[in-house]
Amino acid sequence: MKIGVIGAGSWGTALAALLSEGTGETTLWAYEPEIAESITQKHRNIVYFPEDLLPARLKCSSDLGKVVDGADVLVNAVPSHLVRSVWENAEAFVKPTATLVNASKGFELSTGLRLSQVLLETLPDLPKEHLVTLSGPSFAREVLHHQPSTVVIAGTDKTIMEKIQHLFRRDWFLTYLNDDVIGVEVGGAVKNVIAVACGICEGMGLGFNTRAALITRGLYEMTKLGKAMGANPLTFAGLSGMGDLILTCTGDLSRNRTLGLRLGRGEKLEDILKDMKMVAEGVKTSKVVYDLILKYKINNPVCVEIYRMLYENKPPRQALKDLLAIDLKEELGGLL
Residue 5: per-residue pLDDT: 98
Residue 222 above 90 pLDDT?
yes
Question: How does residue 331 score in pLDDT terms, banded at 50, 70 and 90?
Answer: confident
Please check whether residue 281 is in contact with residue 191, taking contact to mean a CB–CB distance below 8 angstroms.
Answer: no
242 three-state secondary structure: helix
pLDDT in tens, 102-150: 999 999 999 999 999 999 999 999 999 999 999 999 999 999 999 999 9
Question: How does residue 207 score in pLDDT terms, banded at 50, 70 and 90?
Answer: very high
Residue 32 above 80 pLDDT?
yes
Domains of the chain are: 2-179 (3.40.50.720), 182-324 (1.10.1040.10)
| Mean pLDDT estimate for the chain | 95
Question: How does residue 151 score in pLDDT terms, banded at 50, 70 and 90?
Answer: very high
At position 7, the amino acid (one-letter code) is: G
d(CA 55, CA 78): 21
So which residues are the catalytic ones? 191
Question: How does residue 53 score in pLDDT terms, banded at 50, 70 and 90?
Answer: very high
Residue 275: per-residue pLDDT: 84
Buried b (16+ CB within 10 A) or exposed e, 252-273: eebbbbbbbbbbbeeeebeebe
61 three-state secondary structure: strand
Query: What dihedral angle (degrees, nearest 10) is formed by the CA atoms of 170, 173, 178, 182?
Result: -130
pLDDT in tens, 287-320: 999 999 999 999 999 999 999 999 999 999 999 9
d(CA 271, CA 260): 13
Q: What is the DSSP letter of 173?
A: E
2: number of CA atoms within 13 Å, CB side? 11
Bridging pattern class, strands 99-102 and 25-29? unpaired
The 3-class SS string of 120-161 reads: HHHCCCCCHHHEEEEECCCCHHHHHCCCCEEEEEECCCHHHH
d(CA 126, CA 158): 17
Residue 326 above 90 pLDDT?
no
Residues of the chain with pLDDT > 90: what percent? 90
Beta strands in the chain (DSSP E): 2-6, 25-29, 59-61, 73-76, 99-102, 131-135, 149-154, 173-178
pLDDT in tens, 257-288: 999 999 999 999 989 988 887 767 889 999 99
